[in-house]
Amino acid sequence: MMKILPSHSIFYPLCLVASLLTSTLAYAEEPVAAGNAAEPQLVWCLDHFSRFHHYEDTPEPYGPSVDLMQELAKRAGFKLHFTPRTPTARCLRMMAEGKVDLMSNLKYSDERNSNMFMLPYNKTVPESLFLRYNDSRIIDTEAQLQHLTLVSIRSYLYSPSVMAFLQQHPRQAVTVDSIEAGLEMLLRGRVDALISPTVSTSDAINTTSSYRHRFRIAGLDLGRNNQSYIHIALSRSSAHASLEPLLRKHLADMVTDGTVARLYDQAIAQSMLLPPLPLQP
């Protein structure tokens, strides 16, 4: 004969099970104590920049700029990531849109400063006036530029005095898209001189066999009235824009302790052309 238990005998075990389940679920849903804040992840947008950051036929860039940025990341406590090789003009657009965080080796302009924090860290190498090697003219004053036909690089941000000259004398200068295109025009005698960034142009000449010993740098000092700097830029639209004071401080420390000079002076010294030729008879 089946014995029927009193209802209260069933109720208590059920209550006990329900109590245990409720307790278990409650503890399982309690938040876990948070650990240290995640390391910031910042993306550096860059193209190949000879002597500073090599990014040709390599999965990751290398060179003095890379060493500098990695040291800054170490000191400031963030993880540095690289974009695939990206043209500078596109990097600038992505910085304005906040799609990337960092760029390096940039000159200052008001437009750039409007959407990027510009952090100076080294003096710029002034532009140079490149002539054909067999051109015996001595060019050492800006006034002489008015008697030359010139070629300049379209995307390059020239120093203010050079930019002003080019804008005031548009009929004397043509623009091309690359240093190589400017060198070709100069080599073929279509222009008298090329105004171009010193290091990058010297490197293009020294690494191209058909260009070696075909050009020289004029004695004209295009940087004597300009005291400008190159900068690391942090996008003002970056999710990590609040790091700007920290990055600025550590970058200044790297200037003071000689880290910047040690890395950049060597890169510049390795890419110089022969001194200007004396006047030929």
- CA-CA distance, 141 to 276, in Å (whole number)? 14
Q: Could you count the other beta carbons within 10 Å of the beta carbon of residue 83?
A: 19
User: What does the pLDDT read at residue 214?
Assistant: 93
Please name each of the domains of the chain with its CATH number. Answer: 41-124+228-269 (3.40.190.10), 127-217 (3.40.190.10)
Query: Would strands 102-107 and 229-235 be described as parallel, antiparallel, or unpaired?
Result: antiparallel
Instruction: Name the E strands within the chain.
Output: 41-44, 79-82, 102-107, 116-123, 127-132, 150-153, 173-176, 193-197, 215-217, 229-235
Instruction: Name the E strands within 32-188.
Output: 41-44, 79-82, 102-107, 116-123, 127-132, 150-153, 173-176
Query: CB under 8 Å to 274, separation ≥6 — which residues?
Result: 216, 217
User: What does the pLDDT read at residue 223?
Assistant: 78
Tokens representing 181 are 């295109």
- CA-CA distance, 241 to 44, in Å (whole number)? 14
User: What does the pLDDT read at residue 16?
Assistant: 42
Residues of the chain with pLDDT under 50: 1-5, 7-36, 274-281
- CA-CA distance, 162 to 180, in Å (whole number)? 20
User: What does the pLDDT read at residue 29?
Assistant: 44
User: What does the pLDDT read at residue 203?
Assistant: 85
